[in-house]
Amino acid sequence: MTLQKITPNLWFADRAEEAANFYASVFKDSKVGTPTHYDKASAEVSGMKEGEVLTVPFTIAGQDFLALNGGPVFHFTEAVSFIIDCKDQEEVDYFWNALTADGGQESVCGWLKDKFGLSWQVTPRVLTEAMIESADSPTKERVMKAMLKMKKIDVAAIERARDGE
């Protein structure tokens, strides 16, 4: 892994390698690098066991990440999430289903938590275009009203709201 200017570091209690492999299986253009392991000195300081996985570099959709097994000290919250830009309903459904599988949790307005507790926003491009890029306030209001009723985003319903139907 070559470090980019900013690399998200994801703290896991003890499932960093599992998480890296999971994310690489969900996203195209992904790979998992070679894990590092706790040596005697780092194990003594951290309270982790010598030989356990310490870090796992991985890339998903061309973005580098680092997964760290740091123990049960810190947990993910909704204060940080990753947005997935989806071209259509098929992509929305794919990512929604993959990331909520095996214990993930649906939330509202396209948000979810995966089985590791990491928050994602599964966002179709039509929503981004209508909410952020549009200068038309009535369009934004209609789209917002429609989105607030959804868990997983329904592209057709967003398009109808955008078009004033």
Q: Mean pLDDT over residues 37-58, rounded?
A: 96
| 51 pLDDT higher than 60 | yes
pLDDT at 3: 66
Question: Is residue 96 assigned to a domain?
Answer: yes
Co-location of 62 and 100 in the same domain: no
Instruction: Give the count of domains, the chain.
Output: 2
Judge whether 125 and 87 are in contact, CB under 8 Å: yes
Strand arrangement, sheet containing 105-106:
81-86, 119-124, 111-113, 105-106
Judge whether 119 and 78 are in contact, CB under 8 Å: yes
What CATH number is attached to the domain comprising 122? 3.10.180.10
Per-residue exposure over 46-83, b if at least 16 CB sit within 10 Å of its own CB, e if not: eebeeebbbbbbbbbeeebbbbbbbeeeeebeeeebbe
Q: Which domain holds residue 42?
A: 9-69
> pTM of the predicted model, to two decimals?
0.92
pLDDT at 130: 85
